[in-house]
Copies of this chain bind each other. A is one copy, B any other.
Amino acid sequence: MEKRRRIVVVGGSAAGPKAAAKARRIDNDAEVIILQKDADLSMASCGYPYYVGGFFDDRNMLICTPTGVTRNPQFYFNAKAIDARVNTEVTAIDRAGRTVLFRDTVTGETGELTYDKLIMATGSISRIPPVPGVDLEGITTLQSMKDADFLRKIGDEGKIKKAAVIGGGLIGIETCEALQLAGIEITVIELLPQLLTFLDWELAKLVENHVRSKGANVITDNGIAAFLGENGKLTGVKLQNGTELSCELAVVAIGVRPNVKLAQESGLEIGETGGIRVNEYMQTTDPDIYAVGDCVETLNRITGRKVLAPYGDLANLQGRVAGENAASENCVTFPGTIQTGICKVFDYTAGSTGLSEANAKRLGYDNIVTVINASPDKPGFMEGKLLVTKLVADKKTGMILGAQCIGPGNVNRQIAQWAMAIQGHLTVEDVVNADLPYAPPFSLAIDHGIATAHILQNKMKGRMKGISCAEVHRKVTSGESPFLIDVRQPEEFEQMRLGIGETLMPLGALRKCFNEMPKDKEKEIICYCKISLRGYEAALVLEGNGWKNVKVMEGGVLAWPYPREK
């Protein structure tokens, strides 16, 4: 009789169990073993912030199947014939002997297991700032069930009044919302000039404004210098600029790094990014060892470079690929990531796919074109909500390189469709006439994303000279004096306006008011409205009547990230 193949999986959070389950499905005869250091298995770790924030109360929902069965070793054994061992830490891999050594974290007992194929899913480790005071009581991360339980208890008890969230990335923002909903006064502290670095600055700033509008404090461009404490307990944080803030709780969310200790000690190659190097089969430099999830580096499909992409969805997809390959010899590949992400931020959603302008430039893409578009997601009569999108495309080919979208509107659909568009190598010209689902409860007749492509097409054809809010702001604050015209109705101007020296000139009156326009036809004129659709029409009218240097401020008043007069 043929020997049963033994597949050992190290790690039981997301990618590991998926790999194990897939391996079992592919090879019904294989022996599939998961070695999991923690007490829990297959935790929905992306759900922690929502448990902490009180979106649901039953913590078991994080470790149960949809029908309420806890994913414990018994479940794995009965439902999947997988031997899942918890509290079992793998301490070393003997690659020559194809053996793993492990230790029971409760009893301390050790043991070893041979394998035919090994799948490493060792996950990631929270980065901790190298500053004094990190061991004080009251400092936590939000990376484990234990962390989630700790923070949920704090929220439920209602004793803690002030907390600092160190880091304004995805997890930082989700944690900020969760704790703020629990009634805690929050300050988010971010070292970089903006929150959510998957967004370009202008969009991140709009998100920041929304976070502030919810009562949370945001400090950017300022890192933590020290945690302050008394009697071993956290009492505050000191920032790099000397500011001290009092707080009784600090959540560190400055990102994660791949947990590659075991891989490194075993002599597997680690990539420049710090993640385990794998090929398209999710195979490490040892052909008998696969690696998946947060511990690996992943190919960026757009740039061709390796990146770290610690996302739960990719972990699952990689697990599926590695599980199949480990069970049946390499036959399926993982193509990589386009770094799609999405994040709830109170009543806003922020999402991104592909390259931001900043990332594109950092990577040497200098022949790109971008546009910002603001519009409702649905008609006004169906209570449409604002979306602000920034699209990045290659100037020569028109290929879509990236899209970001934020706002209270349906960002989810926008990012999903852009992600598919990028994976289908669609160009701006393709998207301009895309056939997308339209009915008033679901979108505008011309979908927000299609309209964004229309504007970018107009820019690329030279019909519209766009200028960003940031550039207008720079001009105004540096003393340049472009002729600024707001082409909205007087009522709209009364309700909300920038107050940067603009002239109100409603589009409908524009053709009668050319005498109020600059005499110098070379003078720089910048038009805008609420979302700059009327602004665009105004620019065309002025250009049609001889003005030569007319620009449209992209996204209009709704995309303006700076303080307004009104």
Contact with B along A304-330 (1 / 0, CB 8 A): 000000011111110011000000000
Contact with B along A441-478 (1 / 0, CB 8 A): 11101110010001000000001000000000000000
Is the pair B488, A440 in contact by a Cβ cutoff of 8 Å? no
Is the pair B419, A381 in contact by a Cβ cutoff of 8 Å? no
Residues of B within 8 A of A381 (CB): 44, 47, 50-51, 55-56, 58, 61-62
Contact of A343 among B420, B439, B537 (CB under 8 A): B439
Complex: A550 Cα to B512 Cα, angstroms? 77
Contact with B along A129-159 (1 / 0, CB 8 A): 0000000000000000000000000000000
Contact of A379 among B47, B413, B435, B446 (CB under 8 A): B47
A484 part of interface (Cβ distance < 8 Å) = no
Complex: A446 Cα to B21 Cα, angstroms? 14
- With CB as the reference atom, state the residue of chain B lying closest to A450: B317
Complex: A509 Cα to B44 Cα, angstroms? 25
Q: Tell me whether A79 and B435 are in contact in the complex, defined as CB-CB below 8 angstroms, given that A417-B417, A426-B420, A441-B344 are known contacts.
A: no
Is the pair B435, A44 in contact by a Cβ cutoff of 8 Å? no
A368 part of interface (Cβ distance < 8 Å) = no
Q: Tell me whether A440 and B78 are in contact in the complex, defined as CB-CB below 8 angstroms, given that A380-B61, A416-B416, A544-B28 are known contacts.
A: no
Copies in the complex: 2
Question: Of residues 331 to 355 in A, which have CB atoms within 8 Å of B's CB atoms?
Answer: 334-344, 349, 351, 353
Complex: A26 Cα to B421 Cα, angstroms? 28
A522 part of interface (Cβ distance < 8 Å) = no
A415 part of interface (Cβ distance < 8 Å) = yes
Is the pair A313, B435 in contact by a Cβ cutoff of 8 Å? yes
Is the pair B14, A438 in contact by a Cβ cutoff of 8 Å? no
A410 part of interface (Cβ distance < 8 Å) = yes
A530 part of interface (Cβ distance < 8 Å) = yes
- With CB as the reference atom, state the residue of chain B lying closest to A540: B25
The residue among A44, A69, A313 with the most chain B CB atoms within 10 A of its own CB is A313
Is the pair A314, B435 in contact by a Cβ cutoff of 8 Å? yes
Q: Tell me whether A342 and B416 are in contact in the complex, defined as CB-CB below 8 angstroms, given that A540-B28, A544-B28 are known contacts.
A: no
A492 part of interface (Cβ distance < 8 Å) = yes
A425 part of interface (Cβ distance < 8 Å) = yes
Is the pair B434, A311 in contact by a Cβ cutoff of 8 Å? no
A508 part of interface (Cβ distance < 8 Å) = yes
Complex: A342 Cα to B447 Cα, angstroms? 13
A503 part of interface (Cβ distance < 8 Å) = no
What is the distance, in angstroms, from A437's C-beta to the closest C-beta of chain B? 4
Residues of B within 8 A of A67 (CB): 488-489, 492, 530
Is the pair B353, A437 in contact by a Cβ cutoff of 8 Å? yes
Is the pair B320, A489 in contact by a Cβ cutoff of 8 Å? no
Q: Tell me whether A435 and B423 are in contact in the complex, defined as CB-CB below 8 angstroms, given that A380-B61, A440-B46, A511-B81 are known contacts.
A: yes
Is the pair A508, B454 in contact by a Cβ cutoff of 8 Å? no
A97 part of interface (Cβ distance < 8 Å) = no
Residues of B within 8 A of A128 (CB): none
Residues of B within 8 A of A46 (CB): 438-440, 445
A507 part of interface (Cβ distance < 8 Å) = yes
Residues of B within 8 A of A426 (CB): 420, 423-424
A29 part of interface (Cβ distance < 8 Å) = yes
Contact of A440 among B50, B339, B430 (CB under 8 A): B50
**Chain A contact residues, CB within 8 Å of chain B:** 14, 25-26, 28-29, 44, 46-47, 50-51, 55-56, 58, 61-62, 64, 66-67, 69, 75, 78-81, 170, 174, 301, 311-317, 320-321, 334-344, 349, 351, 353, 376, 379-382, 384, 410, 412-413, 415-421, 423-426, 430, 432-443, 445-447, 450, 454, 463, 488-489, 492, 507-509, 511, 530, 534, 536-537, 540-541, 543-545
- Besides the known contacts A47-B381, A423-B430, 12 further A-B residue pairs in the complex with CB atoms under 8 A apart: A61-B379, A69-B489, A320-B454, A340-B438, A342-B439, A416-B437, A418-B420, A419-B437, A420-B424, A420-B426, A423-B426, A424-B426
